[in-house]
Amino acid sequence: MTALLILVVALAATLVVGFAVRSRAGKVRASAPAPSPAVDDERLTRLAEAGVTPTGRPIVLHFSADWCGPCAAVRRVVGQVLTRLDADAPDGTAATEVELDIDENPALAKTLGVLSLPTTFILDGSLTERFRISGVPSAADLESALTPLLESRHPKS
């Protein structure tokens, strides 16, 4: 009887943790500013080493790996959203997409606090982290996170 009770409790705990993790997957979360200038300097240095430089427009940075199945879905979602936004952009380019392999950029992944794949960051034109997404975002959520950054770059007249 005790073994059955332990099994039921373990199953219930597993379900609660699973639902909590699943509820956060793919959600766009606003990022907090860097805690100190030194941390921000290290982040900018690591980004530059990986080839991510300020473009003056938003950057969608996503970490992936060859062995990551959901990373292909992130590629599709980001591609769809950026194609749609590029069509409305005055200069034909709304945002820049950068995909980095986590196995080739472990130092940057550690600096940015990447704990799982896929992880996507939305950076403004000066490389300030504005949003973070763990898992596969919906196209609507990704577009709604990018839109304010685009509007601040091209205010409507």
Cis peptide before 70 (omega within 30 of 0): no
Q: Is the dihedral of CA 58, 53, 50, 29 positive or negative?
A: negative
44-50 LR contacts (CB < 8 Å, sep 24+): 44/127, 46/107, 46/108, 46/111, 46/112, 47/108, 47/127, 49/107, 49/108, 50/100, 50/105, 50/108
* Distance (Å, whole) CA 147 – CA 145: 6
The tens place of each residue's pLDDT in the chain, 157 residues long, gives 888 889 888 888 888 887 776 666 677 777 766 666 766 888 899 999 999 999 889 999 999 999 999 999 999 999 999 999 998 888 888 899 999 999 999 999 999 999 999 999 999 988 999 999 999 999 999 999 999 988 876 555 4
* pLDDT value of residue 25: 67
SS3 call for 134? strand
Buried b (16+ CB within 10 A) or exposed e, 10-35: eeeeeeeeeeeeeeeebebeeeeeee
The token pair at 141 is 């959520």
Strand partners, 123: 59, 129
- Measured CA to CA, the distance from residue 58 to residue 6 in angstroms comes to 50
Of all helices (H) and strands (E), which one includes residue 61?
Answer: strand 59-64
Q: pTM value?
A: 0.78
